[in-house]
Structure 1
Amino acid sequence: MASLKELRARITSVKSTKKITSAMKMVAAAKLRRAQLHAEAAHPYADAMRRMLGELAASMAGQDGLPRLMTGTGRDQVHLLIPVTSDRGLAGGFNSNVNRTTRQTVRHLQAEGKIVKILPVGRKGADFLAREFADLIIERIPGSSGKEVPFSAASDLGSRVTKMLAAGEFDVCTVIYNRFRSVMSQVPTHMQLIPLELDEADAGQPAAGADQAQYEFEPDEEKLLARLLPRNLQVQIYAAMLDSAAGEQGARMTAMDNATRNAGKAIDRLSQKYNRTRQANITNELMEIISGASAV
């Protein structure tokens, strides 16, 4: 049985932990609102970019010499994966979900005989993947460290990916990140960046029986693609990083709220045990006194 001194020390320790987790919860909640607004504001712009490129792709269907950022290299042998995680932990399953998804994707591609390269964004993902796929990591990209995500981070990463594609270092590029749905829900998501994936709605396919609109582009489609495709790559990466940043704060707030609640329950149990132990000690002392008095 633990002594009263040990129980007091444990209660004091858990109370200190509760103060820390409560403070981290409030900090995460304050950061979450701004991160959520940024992520939600980025989605319409990213969607509009995809639709615009879909209309351009539909107008140029069947033409030769389309940019590599749209078509890729035409092969499917070398895959570049960009997992986006945080630099810090204490966020529940936020990082482990992306890490697990990335590991499954790597194993699946390798089982098909593909070559995999990894460009991790965030320290937690890089550290996890280095334990098993250290030889596949070509560079570690630092995350935002809980701060606001600057567009320059996505711009630099997009430029790096563009240079790698021009050098023929990969055929397919996919970003893996947590898509923010709510404070309680962050969904691991694959988004293929190269070749550009366009569904029927993005590609301007008309519904059955509908008239197909005709577009005239100024300047011509080739010049527009040359300008829009690099920008689109940066925008899609930026939207993924903003989603990840909002999801990180939501996951951390939830995790710290649960930790604070658990600490409170632990304090109640320890306090109850402390009071029972103290009462038992007092009872034993009284019995010893009574026994001694009776013997005299």
Structure 2
Amino acid sequence: MANLKEVKERISSVTSTRQITSAMKMVAAAKLRRAQDKITQMRPYSQKLTSILQNVSANLDGDSSSQYSEIRPEPDNVLLVVVSSDRGLCGAFNNNAFKATVKLINEKYSYEYKHDGVHILPIGKKAYEYFSKRGYNVISDYYEIFSDLNFDAARDTAEFAMEGFLNRDFDVVEIIYNEFKNVATQILRTEQFLPIPESKEEVKSDDKNIDYIYEPSIEFVVEELIPKSLKIQFYKAILESNASEHGARMSAMDQATDNAGEMLKELKLVYNRTRQAAITKEILEIVGGAEALAAES
């Protein structure tokens, strides 16, 4: 059985840890509130733009079709945008994204990977560290975006991917991120960014022959609306991941605080038993000594 000093040191250590995790939980809760407000405001706008983008892309044909919709049957170069966090202590948040990325490479882009055609664009320091240490082709110009998260930074990153696609540096661009559902739940998403995917919603027979009216012209829609929409979708994915990170960290710190509380209860019970055993031992020694003295006299 551990001595009293060791148990007291462990109680002190666990108490300090519990205070830290409790404080981190409150900080994460405050950050989550702000991040949640941002993504809640962004979603309706993003969803409407997505709908417009998909409808426009589906109804363009011939010379008017968007360059961002060009499907290349045999891609040689793939860009995977992996959104993580800058810091840890957020449960399986980062590992889930990393595992999904590695699985995607092994199952879908194994040929491209063997021919050095898979490129990783990490968003967040954890993704940069993970893929850099494992020898992947990492583009390291944009991973510090969370140090000052804003639309301008996200736009620059999206433009890099979009220009790379137009210049045929990349034939496919996919984004791996965690979508925020609630504090306790984050949904891992793997979405194709480029070429623009077709809408998964079934088109009703009455809607197939809709005559779209473009103002001021179809060329303007292609040149202006689609690039702006793509940048908004990219920014939305980053905001989703940011809110998910704080939710995951809040849940992890809450669980850690509860575990520390349970451990304190057990340690205090051990401490009391150890102290009681020490007191009993001392009493027995005193009684034994008194009886020995009485026997001698």
Question: Structure 1-normalised TM-score?
Answer: 0.91
Q: Which residue of 2 aligns with 1:136?
A: 137
Q: How many residues align?
A: 290
Does residue 254 of structure 2 align to residue 257 of structure 1? Answer: yes
Letter in 2 for 1:92: G
Which moved further from structure 2: 120-129 or 285-294?
A: 120-129
Extract unaligned runs of 5+ from structure 1.
Answer: none
Does residue 263 of structure 2 align to residue 269 of structure 1? Answer: no
Q: Which residue of 2 aligns with 1:98?
A: 97
1:219 pairs, out of 216, 220, 231, with 216
Q: Which residue of 1 aligns with 2:107?
A: 108
> Does the Cα contact within 8 Å between 1:14 and 1:267 map onto a contact in 2?
yes
User: How far apart, CA to CA, are the structure 2 residues paired with 1:200 and 1:22?
Assistant: 43
Q: Which residue of 2 aligns with 1:195?
A: 195
User: How far apart, CA to CA, are the structure 2 residues paired with 1:210 and 1:140?
Assistant: 44
1:1-296 pair list within 5 angstroms: 1-61=1-61, 63-64=62-63, 66-71=65-70, 75-113=74-112, 115-132=117-134, 134-145=135-146, 149-201=149-201, 206-209=203-206, 212-296=209-293
User: How far apart, CA to CA, are the structure 1 residues paired with 2:163 and 2:207?
Assistant: 41
> Does the Cα contact within 8 Å between 2:57 and 2:65 map onto a contact in 1?
no
Quote how far apart the aligned CAs of 1:65 are. 5.9
Which moved further from structure 2: 160-169 or 184-193?
A: 160-169
User: How far apart, CA to CA, are the structure 1 residues paired with 2:112 and 2:100?
Assistant: 19
Q: What SS class does the counterpart of residue 80 from structure 1 fall into?
A: strand
Superposed CA offset, 1:56-91 (max 9, x none):
223323x13633222255642321100000000000
Quote how far apart the aligned CAs of 1:29 are. 1.0
Quote how far apart the aligned CAs of 1:143 are. 4.2
Superposed CA offset, 1:267-293 (max 9, x none):
111111011001100100010000000
- Cα 1:209–1:70 shift into 2, 3 Å: closer
User: How far apart, CA to CA, are the structure 2 residues paired with 1:148 and 1:27?
Assistant: 18
Which moved further from structure 2: 32-41 or 65-74?
A: 65-74
> Does the Cα contact within 8 Å between 1:149 and 1:245 map onto a contact in 2?
no
- Cα 1:94–1:14 shift into 2, 3 Å: same
Identity fraction in percent: 38
Letter in 2 for 1:175: I
Superposed CA offset, 1:202-260 (max 9, x none):
xxx74135574322111211221111222122111100001001100110010000000
User: How far apart, CA to CA, are the structure 1 residues paired with 2:278 and 2:266?
Assistant: 18
- Cα 1:125–1:200 shift into 2, 3 Å: closer
- Cα 1:254–1:11 shift into 2, 3 Å: same
Q: What SS class does the counterpart of residue 79 from structure 2 fall into?
A: strand
Letter in 2 for 1:123: K
- Cα 1:188–1:211 shift into 2, 3 Å: closer
User: How far apart, CA to CA, are the structure 1 residues paired with 2:180 and 2:98?
Assistant: 16
- Cα 1:200–1:213 shift into 2, 3 Å: farther
Letter in 1 for 2:63: D
Q: Please give the root-mean-square deviation of Cα atoms over the aligned residues, in Å.
A: 1.9
> Does the Cα contact within 8 Å between 1:84 and 1:122 map onto a contact in 2?
yes
- Cα 1:100–1:73 shift into 2, 3 Å: same
User: How far apart, CA to CA, are the structure 2 residues paired with 1:139 and 1:169?
Assistant: 16
> Does the Cα contact within 8 Å between 1:87 and 1:122 map onto a contact in 2?
yes
Which moved further from structure 2: 24-33 or 249-258?
A: 24-33
Superposed CA offset, 1:92-115 (max 9, x none):
111111011011111223434452
Superposed CA offset, 1:114-136 (max 9, x none):
5211111111112112232x242
> Does the Cα contact within 8 Å between 1:121 and 1:140 map onto a contact in 2?
no
Q: What SS class does the counterpart of residue 120 from structure 1 fall into?
A: strand
Q: What SS class does the counterpart of residue 64 from structure 1 fall into?
A: helix
> Does the Cα contact within 8 Å between 2:78 and 2:112 map onto a contact in 1?
no
